[in-house]
Structure formats: C-alpha cells, structure tokens
Amino acid sequence: MLSVTVNARGEIAELRFHTDKYRMMAPAELASAIVEVVERARRDVARQVSDAMGGLIPGDSAAREQAVAGDPTALLEELGLGRVHPPT
C-alpha cells in the first residue's frame, strides 16, 4: 500500500502510496501505518550504515547501530569510555 525511502540519517526522502486504499482508512489507522513503515525503514537503513561502517567503528553491531542513530552511549561503554567526565 505504501513505501518510504529514508536517507542515511533516517530522514524521509520519499513517501509513496501504491494504491488508493489509504483513502478508506481511518486517520488513526493511516497514521499508524505510516509510522510503522517509516520506523522499519529507519531501522533498516541504520543496520545498513552500521554494517558498512563495521570495519571503521569498533564494537558489536547493536552498539554501532545505536551510535549511527545518534546515541553513542552503548558504544562508549563497550569501549570503556562510558563514564568519562569532562575535567572540572
């Protein structure tokens, strides 16, 4: 019924409706379908970026995916840097 393309940052680049079935959906149902497809696309692209960066970024794939998504906490902790505080 619909597809979405996201860029490497997870931003929507294209949203396409393949049928007119969405016209018969309740607004909440359509919104839920869009959110689901966008989130799936974001997870997929994060995994692809993580796999591509695998040789450049240390850590396991889950930590890399989180770092690529903008949350380096798990990766820093895995590297023993999770509790580093700036000098006071």
pLDDT, one tens digit per residue, over 26-59 is 999 999 999 999 999 988 887 887 777 667 666 6
Per the domain annotation, does 88 fall within a domain? no
The answer to whether residues 65 and 58 touch, using CB atoms and an 8 Å cutoff, is: no
- 3-state secondary structure string across 22-79: HHHCCHHHHHHHHHHHHHHHHHHHHHHHHHHCCCCCCCCHHHHHHHHCCCCHHHHHHC
pLDDT per position as a tens digit, 51-82: 776 676 666 677 777 776 667 777 677 777 66
The answer to whether residues 77 and 84 touch, using CB atoms and an 8 Å cutoff, is: no
Per the domain annotation, does 20 fall within a domain? yes
Per the domain annotation, does 24 fall within a domain? yes
Per the domain annotation, does 60 fall within a domain? yes
The answer to whether residues 59 and 67 touch, using CB atoms and an 8 Å cutoff, is: yes
> pTM score, two decimals?
0.64
Per the domain annotation, does 67 fall within a domain? yes
Per the domain annotation, does 83 fall within a domain? no
For 8, the domain range is 2-78
Per the structure, how many domains does the chain have? 1
Per the domain annotation, does 39 fall within a domain? yes
Per the domain annotation, does 26 fall within a domain? yes
